[in-house]
Amino acid sequence: MKRFYSLTIGWFYPDLMSTYGDRGNIIVLQKRLQLRGIKTTIKKISIYDSSEIIKKCDLFFMGGAQDRQQEIVNRDLLKQKGKFLIKAIEKDIPALFICGAYQFMGRYYKTAEGVKLQGLGLFDIYTENPGTYAKRLIGDVIIEPNDSIFKKNKPVFFVGFENHGGRTYLFDQKRAFAKVIKGYGNNGIDKTEGFIYHNAIGTYLHGPILPKNPELTDWLLQKALEIKYKEQISLKKITDFFSESAKKTILRRFSV
């Protein structure tokens, strides 16, 4: 008998943390599940929702925003929802945190005005903005993911776009999500990009990242299904002609 699967995706603060088109990540997660006949439920989690909703989710996503919105969200995470989110991540529930959301997961974020905002401390990182007049880190990004994500026989690259003033520093660079091939990454200095802890990924790649990198999308979905159903899952192959063509165009542009 064929087994029917379902996933519930928790989308944190879509009204506040969705500045750079990161809604596209939710769309592609939902679409790739639907193409495989997997029932999908999207739960939008706002500052007004009960933290109990987090317990019902199999996968989490949070996008980026400007400083004002980030301060509102940061208060809600620290006072209400953060401890529930941390507990889920510690149980290996997969998550994707983009830009400002990624910064929240660290020890602290220092704004361009020098205000120090406490983070959740889930990721062993910290972020500091060098000031209003400092150069923003903007442009196309090409990265090679950590082997802990893709144990590969040939090089695998992800592409995206970054736009951030903050510089993120890792206490353990082995926990980086990826190595920078083109672009700035975490801080423009050490060639690291993002952070990975259990099955939670933090990254500065907008674009959004998932439509351009279907391998990463399927990695998150497969992990979510395996954690929920406690069995090995083999996802049905999907034709990725357009996303792969777009990626190849970027790679050729930078001779990668």
CA–CA dist 196, 147 (Å, integer): 11
CA–CA dist 93, 82 (Å, integer): 14
Q: Confirm whether 57 is a catalytic residue.
A: no
Q: Confirm whether 206 is a catalytic residue.
A: yes
Burial of 110 (0-12, 13-18, 19+ CB in 10 A): middle
Among 108, 82, 107, CA closest to 95: 82
Tell me which amino acid residue 22 is.
D
Catalytic residue among 57, 99, 164, 198: 99
Write down the number of H helices and E strands in the chain. 7, 14
CA–CA dist 223, 58 (Å, integer): 9
CA–CA dist 78, 142 (Å, integer): 33
CA distances from 31 to 25, 40, 108, 115, 210 (A): 10, 9, 35, 40, 11
Instruction: Enumerate the active-site residues.
Output: 99, 206
